Amino acid sequence: MASINLIEAFQEFKDAENIDRPTMMKVVEDVFKTLLRKKFGSDENFDVIVNAEKGDLEIIRRRMIVEDGQVEDPLAQVAYSDAVRIEPDFEVGEEVYEEIDLYDFGRRAILAAKQTLASRISDLKKNVLAKKYSERVGEITNAEVYQVWKKEILLLDEEGNELILPKSEQIPQDYFKKGESIRAVVKKVDMKNNTPVIILSRTSPEFLAKLLEIEVPEIFDGLIVIKRIVRDPGERAKVAVESYDDRIDPVGACVGMKGSRIHGIVRELKNENIDVINWTNNTQLLIQRSLTPAKITSMELDTENKHADVYLKPDQVSLAIGRRGVNIKLACELTGYDLDVYRDNEGEVEEFDIDLDEFSDEIEGWVIDELKRIGCDTARSVLDLTTEELERRTDLEKETIDEVRKVLEEEFQKG
């Protein structure tokens, strides 16, 4: 019989992995049974036989032969005189199997069937894709950059499926070119216009957690557990870990010999500083560890309001706060406490200060060196002097001094 050239449609099925053969047969059968119902009013006496290899199908009509004039149901019965025209040897009471030529349905009906079939295949592929990635949320995937746009990057996985890495999920220092292979964690699967949109992330804590799992076998084996991760992507991260085996040092295992395990992760995260600390249920000790690399001298804890005043030596204050306040912000997130940092100057409590070197990306190096030459090595030590005094004691112009003071004052106003 004439084929309606369904090879392309069947090929789509073959290309879509995880769509099993029974599902394929059922979809094709459903489409053409719908066609039969539109033409004959019922599909009860028809068999749809699909040949997926050849890319065609047969529709067989079954009817019982009855005496002439006794046809009560034309769909299920055929008169003897009509039956013998099909095959001369037929007798009353036998069943006639007749092949229906698909072109009898008409060209428009056949085209509609092909479009419906293509649509059903497309929906199945979307469902398979959504299911596959919904089950992989929180896992790392590798994908190739296909298109770079201002607000997002389009990537293709090994099967050619489209994945999206939004700008908000990229590390600020990320820069990717077409054809480059990148790693990211599957964040979520959104449905837009009945189409799955797979969103990836490189900024989520889960991405760092999975990288650690890959690099540290003890985490993968469950001997070390990541209790909490907080990140300022591309800047700093803090990871609290705990060991279920007393013989294993969780921090040492995560960092590796001479930092061998952590270095690869730091490179992947564009030189993000990663502080790995031992988890503890002792709040005071956890706060102390969370402010790494700073060393605190004392602390006043208010557990009811989840607040702590932390006192440090003058040279440790800027370390505790960190550039743009990142270190203390992450410590607050990790511990769940609001932390206020003070300088402990022989028992006298002063406001926090920031090392001038922390402003090296906003203030030129030679200006910082000139200020240090007169003993001003912190932000407050500069602000404590008047513009006139700084101008007299240094070789700096008034405009430069005003600009420096403005940068330093803005930093304290942020805090």
3-state DSSP call for residue 20?
A: coil
Phi and psi, residue 264, nearest 5°:
-60, -40
Residues 103, 25 contacting (CB under 8 angstroms): no
**Bridge-partner residues for 303, per DSSP?**
none
Q: How confident is the model at residue 351 (pLDDT cuts 50, 70, 90)?
A: low
The predicted structure's pLDDT at residue 379: 85
Q: Kindly tell me if the per-residue pLDDT of 142 is higher than 70.
A: yes
- Structural domain range at position 398: 356-414
Q: Do 146 and 126 share a structural domain?
A: no
- 196 and 108 in a single domain? The answer is no
Instruction: Single out the residue in 203, 227, 256 at which a domain terminates.
Output: 203
pLDDT digits (tens, 9 = 90+) for 189-206: 998 888 899 999 999 999
Give 224-272 pLDDT, tens digit per residue. 999 999 999 999 999 999 998 888 999 999 998 988 999 999 999 999 9
The pLDDT value recorded for residue 8 is: 53
- Regarding whether 85 and 147 lie in a shared domain, the answer is no
Are both 174 and 63 inside the same structural domain? no
Of 27-41, 179-193, 346-360, the range with the highest mean pLDDT is 179-193
- Dihedral angle at the C-alpha atoms of 182, 183, 184, 189, nearest 10 degrees? 80
CATH of the domain at 58: 3.30.1480.10
Q: What is the mean pLDDT of the chain?
A: 84
- Supply the pLDDT for residue 116: 77
Assigned domain for 283 exists:
no
12 and 127 share one domain? yes
pLDDT tens-digit map of 10-28: 555 555 545 666 677 777 7
Question: Is residue 192, in this structure, part of any structural domain at all?
Answer: yes
Contact 315, 276 (CB under 8 A): no
pLDDT over 90, % of the chain? 40
Percent of the chain with pLDDT over 70: 90
- Is the pLDDT at 53 greater than 80, yes or no? no
Domain end marker among 168, 183, 203:
203
Q: How many domains does the chain have?
A: 3
Are 306 and 338 contacting, i.e. CB atoms less than 8 angstroms apart? yes
- The answer on 152 and 72 residing in a single domain is no
Does residue 399 fall inside a structural domain? yes
187 and 147 assigned to the same domain: yes
**Residue ending a domain, choose from 105, 131, 157:** 131
pLDDT exceeds 70 at position 108: yes
**pLDDT tens digits for range 80-103:** 787 777 777 777 777 878 777 777
- For residues 150 and 122, membership in a common domain is answered with no
Q: What is the pLDDT of residue 328?
A: 93
Q: Check whether residue 114 and residue 172 sit in a common domain.
A: no
Cα 355 off chain centre by: 37
Q: 385 or 141, which is more confident?
A: 141
Structural domain contains residue 337: no
Residue 195 sits in the same domain as residue 79:
no
| Same-domain pairing of 107 and 146 | no
Q: Is residue 324 part of a domain?
A: no
Whether 240 is in a domain gets the answer no
Q: Is the pLDDT of residue 209 over 80?
A: yes
DSSP letters spanning 153-200 = EEEE-TT--EEEEEGGGS-TT----TT-EEEEEEEEEEEETTEEEEEE
Q: Are residue 120 and residue 152 in the same domain, yes or no?
A: no
pLDDT at position 3 is: 46
What SS3 class is residue 54?
Answer: coil
Tell whether 266 is covered by a domain: no
410 within some domain: yes
2 pLDDT band, cuts 50/70/90, is very low
H or E element, residue 128: helix 107-134
CATH number reported for the structural domain that contains residue 153 in this entry: 2.40.50.140
**pLDDT confidence band for 414 (50 / 70 / 90):** low
